[in-house]
Amino acid sequence: MTDTQRPAIELLIAAPRGFCAGVDRAIQIVELAIQKHGAPVYVRHEIVHNKFVVDLAAGEGRDLRRGTGPSARRRAGRVLRAWRAQVGARGGEDRGLDYLDATCPLVSKVHRQAERLVASGRHILFVGHAGHPEVIGTFGQVPAGQMTLIETVEDVAKLNPADPDNLAFLTQTTLSVDDTRAIVDATIARFPTIVAPKADDICYATSNRQNAVKAIAQSCDMVLVIGAPNSSNSVRLVEVAEREGTSAKLIQRATDLDFAWLAGVGTLGITAGASAPEILVRELVDRIATRFDVTEREVEMTRETIAFKLPRGLEAA
């Protein structure tokens, strides 16, 4: 097929998209750790929810061996303190091991809030998705029984806390902004004295990427979201696009694209979850260009300038 015979397609590429500051920091920690200490560097869990990034890191000398299933995830959160004690809480005195915490600072902030609220005697209602590593990790910061998970507005109606006037709520950082607002509103309506966090727990990157998808979705015949199925923020982007009335699909790589999806599509939206690198966006655009006469336009809603500090000992590296 010649270029003149190719159907035209306009690509609306959402911005912000892709890597957030927390993911950038986590990957940088692994890279600098191997520069400073040499291979192998062991990562307790997937450094980010993206197979391309994990495989690339492993190929460059990082040993990303990790367990699978509930027990491994539980160790990533619930047994974090015990694991630190095993390797040595102050630099590995017991086994000669060093460890670096690559948890996003915004997630760590939620952990500290949970600890303070429980220490003050409050029971926490935690808005999140059961089984997500962030939820498991947050529950692992406090004694068992001190937090209750709520996933839906219907869950709020079923709650029967022992002390309804001594509650607080926190949320997972990668939720749908709209869904979470509905759950929080229902929670406050039922428990007017509940203590809210000082600032929204949903991270800036999640909110920004959802707003960017909203900005393009109604102008698109379809939206493709690049991200992993176990990436909460990526799955939420698909849901956001669909709620705007647009067909949307989650893909991990350009090779996952079925060209049959694009039949009759004149305008295609593209975005990427916070764990997906920009190279995967360009890979997708290039694949589409093998069948279509492509024009692309970036739709930028806001510019992100946030950066997080590295752990002590890595700044010099």
**How does pLDDT run across 48-81, given as a tens digit for each residue?**
777 777 776 666 544 443 332 222 222 333 334 4
Q: Is the pLDDT of residue 35 over 90?
A: no
Mean pLDDT of 282-303: 97
Q: 105-190: which CATH number, 3.40.1010.20, 3.10.450.50, 3.40.50.10320, 3.30.565.10?
A: 3.40.1010.20
Sign of CA dihedral 32, 35, 38, 40: positive
CA distances (Å), origin 16, targets 233, 255, 290: 13, 23, 26
Question: Per-domain residue ranges for the chain?
Answer: 7-19+204-300, 21-87, 105-190
Report the relative pairing of strands 167-171 and 267-272 from DSSP bridges.
Answer: unpaired
CATH number of 7-19+204-300: 3.40.1010.20
pLDDT of 15 higher than 80: yes
Q: Is 27 helix (H, G, I), strand (E, B) or coil?
A: helix
Q: Which CATH architecture has domain 21-87?
A: 3-Layer(aba) Sandwich (3.40)
Backbone phi and psi for residue 237, each to the nearest 5 degrees, phi listed first: -65, -40
Active site residues: 134
pTM: 0.82
pLDDT tens for 165-217 read 999 999 999 899 999 999 999 999 999 999 999 878 889 999 999 999 999 99
pLDDT cut 70: percent of the chain above it: 84
Domains 7-19+204-300 and 21-87 equal at CATH topology level? no
Provide the terminal-to-terminal Cα distance of the chain, rounded to the nearest Å. 51
